[in-house]
Structure 1
Amino acid sequence: MNKAAENLTGRKLKNVLGMKINEIYDIRDDTTKDKMPSHFEKVLQKGEQINDRDHKLLISKNGNELLIEYSAAPVRDKRGNVTGMILVFRDSTEKIERLKQVEYLSLHDHMTGLYNRRYMHDSIKRLDTRRNLPFSMIYMDLNGLKLINDSLGHEMGDRLIVSVANVLRDMLRSDDIVGRLGGDEFLILLPRTDNEGAEKISERILKAISETKAGSLVPSVAVGSAVKTEEDQNIYDVLKRAESSMYRNKLKSGKMMRNTIVENLIRLTESKHAAVQDHSKRVMGFCERIANAMDLSDRETADLKTTALLHNIGEIVIPASLLNKPDKLTEEEYEQIKMHSEKGYQILKSIDEYAALAESVLQHHERWDGKGYPEGLKEGDILLHSRIINVADAYEAMTSDRPYKRAISREEAIEELKKCRGKQFDPDIVDIFIDKVLLKKESPADTAIC
């Protein structure tokens, strides 16, 4: 018995002389903690060797518990008679912890800590029994995740996912099982829960999620449920019905949800850029007046106004320190600023309601002479709405204070537009803007009567 054995057992060698070996080494089942039958006698009496890789509990004299693996081998004399035994204990705590971690990761989603797809599908099979009827499922989808990832980055998207997971974990009952199937999808299994119960839980989930926040954003989810009531119903058909119900609800609320996200993005963009509060709204106002002067249709005018409102939405990815920098930008910083056109295009292209406007946002910094960005288009190759926004945007920027410059007068801005006419700007749009918008004399009909 060496020093390590003394430490593990809490006994000194001098105090164990004469004791039975199973009294010295108190080995128990690690789950039940029942005392294990001693196998050491087999070594001493029969000369058998033991190599037990299944971890057990070694209980010390002081009651301390240690997870171990052990092996025992006989010691023989020259004649082959067993005269003793070599007993080796190995502390398996770290090994078991690693195994538990591997097992945990194999069953749980690494981001949220909820159960993963594999565990959820195993649970569906395990719970699909008569005693769990009625067996309900709630299928959930996080709205607008791709849009958030594209606009605010995957870190914000991950924060939304985790915030929803935390709500689900905190509010469900002990018998309920919740997991993340992957991406933006979640599943809740509700044994012994009827349709009414599932709908009440869905309502509580929607309310709780609407009251939580991830940064400045409130998550939004689509929810659908289905219930198995008869033993002969296929459980995976029930899962499909829950998913289909979720998608129907997603279609109903999807447009409103996406509009809300876009409004939040506009608000967040302008809050980052201290000097341009309501810039996009003013540009939209100028664009509407140009459209009226050009006799554009109501539909074209409406699309132009929406595009003007969204033209800088890509600035959501630009650091506020660059947008508000009072000094001249470096070449590298300017290249970063220029990314906003492409980023705005990507954001709008991912939203059905705004996809048709994405190209105009992409091109709103193209120049008439082909020296703009991002594609270097020129003249009529640039979309009409982009050419209109280019003029309105430049005029609004010139006549408003910026961190790097003071506003100039209307007259000075008009002279600048004329100077850049046919170079930066479409000459016809410049003429219309100056003559029919900026210098237009108010008629009696245009003057409000108080």
Structure 2
Amino acid sequence: MSKLKSFAATLDSGHMYALSVCLIGMGLFSYTNRFEFLHYSTSSWVWVYAMTSACLVLNFFMIQLPPEGNEQSLDSSVYLACIFIFGPGFTLTVLLLNCLFFAVIDRGTRWWKHLTNFFIYSIMIIASAAVFQYLGGSPGALVNTQLFTYLIVLAVYFFMNTLLVVLYYYILYRATLYETVKDMIKDAMFVYLCTLVLSLVLTVLVYHNQILGLLLFMCLAVLLCQSFKKLFSMYRSIEERANTDQRTGLFNHSYFEEVLEQEIQKSRSSGTPLSLAMIDLDDFKKYNDHFGHLQGDKLISFVGELLKTESRKSGTIAARYGGEEFTLLMPGYDSLQARTCIDQLRKKLNNSRFDGVEIFPLGCLAFSAGIAASSSDIHDKSQLVDHADQALYYSKRQGKNTVHTYGEHSPLEQELDFSQDVRDIEQQLNLFMYKDMETFRHSKRVFRYAMDISEILDMDAISKRNFTLGALIHDIGKLEIPWSILNKTDKLAPEEWEMVKWHVTWGKKMALTNDKFKELAPYIELHHERYDGKGYPYGFKGEEIPRLCRMLTIIDSFDAMTTERPYQPTKSFEEAVIELRACAGSQFDPELTELFINYIESREPRPENEAM
């Protein structure tokens, strides 16, 4: 008994499911077939062997469907035709011989998988035959008036196949049931429609033309499979040309953009690291001007081949970004691992021989690289590219032939850069001095709050810079709003309010015109999103909004509530705190709301809204 319990404990849920399917299938097979093949006549055995041979041939000639290339067999058309012509017992005999043959030749597949597959097909065949009989169908010739019956039988066959296979994958991989069903239906629907038509064609041909009809059907099916194979090959060839840079053989920019978005989504859902490296050949223009564009193209091809070879070894995705720039998308690599990998690649290029390298300052091929790691606060693929690009720019500033990781400036350099950035933004904010003084003062107060909060959250230098500068510039888009609307004391008309809401989009566009401030765009664009998804401009909800943008929303709202403005009610700090708590979970992130309230309540003396 103890041994039995130990054995049961070792079985995972996938094995338990397979065992259940086998037991059910075994019972149904025994009841339906009843070993009737022991009493077959010679002519019956001829048809068993003929139909079994047809199944075997169709299992070797599979249909490949673009875009994924999933292989599908048309053997189900033979099983359905057997149900329509000979009945379920005969069909199960054909299935048994077919599965026994594959179990013998396919030794690489575990025996229990062969067994599970056999019983899954048995259940599908028996269920379809039962429905066929229930709807008045009987083995023999195709009946024109019963086409709806044949359609229902195929639907049952398809449903049972989908149900049994999807449940297995759902139990084994814990995938989302809806997504699993959707993907399988999408992949298999076309093949099953072909199966229906071909099963009816086979029924007619076999019933009226016997073996000749079966041979004609097999010719048709094999030609169809070969046509799909060539179609898929053409599709792959066109797809490869469309996704490949012809000069280097690497993926091109368009494909890189597509894969980057997919990998960011995978990284978010699975929690695995993802890094991006941007690589720029050092002094390529000098080489190009000296030796000409033809030799320069050869150098680009040489570097591309090196990246292609190394990316295959490291499991990364190399692409030509443009000109002499390349990207390496690195799934599963954190920033430290990515830096180590790119540094090794840099040294390998340094040691690679190529004609004319003596004109380079270092006397060898070299590149500068910037690395950026994906994080939860990156809500758009362009942010990750911008981070890697900034790191690349910094690497160039350090004398080239170096690798730099985004966010790893020295403290002194960071402080100097930050001070200069604040001065640059304040120059733009000075434009509010004539248009709306209160927006100018509001931006400065929000900036001060953000500085304090960045200390409380113990942010890294880059996050602190982006958060505080984002707070300072968050309302820059209001410069585009007409003075009459910006300073209106009455309630805004609906069309005026819609114009005010556009300030987040205008502000984002203004930030994107300056490479230094591209990473501030999310704070400008998303500070009016709400935790419950009722904000603007996108209606993002909860974790879809970057964490620090959610904090900026709280700071922005608190200062707006506690600021004295003519003709508008002003809340005290206590009233504003009550309002924040009341809106926590709807407008504001509950956790960050409490953190901000604790900060406000701990300030001594209480801040006043004096002019800054």
- Give TM class, smaller chain: 0.3 to 0.5
TM-score of the aligned structures, taking structure 2 as reference length: 0.29
Higher helix share goes to which structure? 2
Higher strand share goes to which structure? 1
Larger radius of gyration: 1
Which structure is higher in RCO with an 8 Å CA cutoff and minimum separation 6? Answer: 1
TM-score of the aligned structures, taking structure 1 as reference length: 0.39
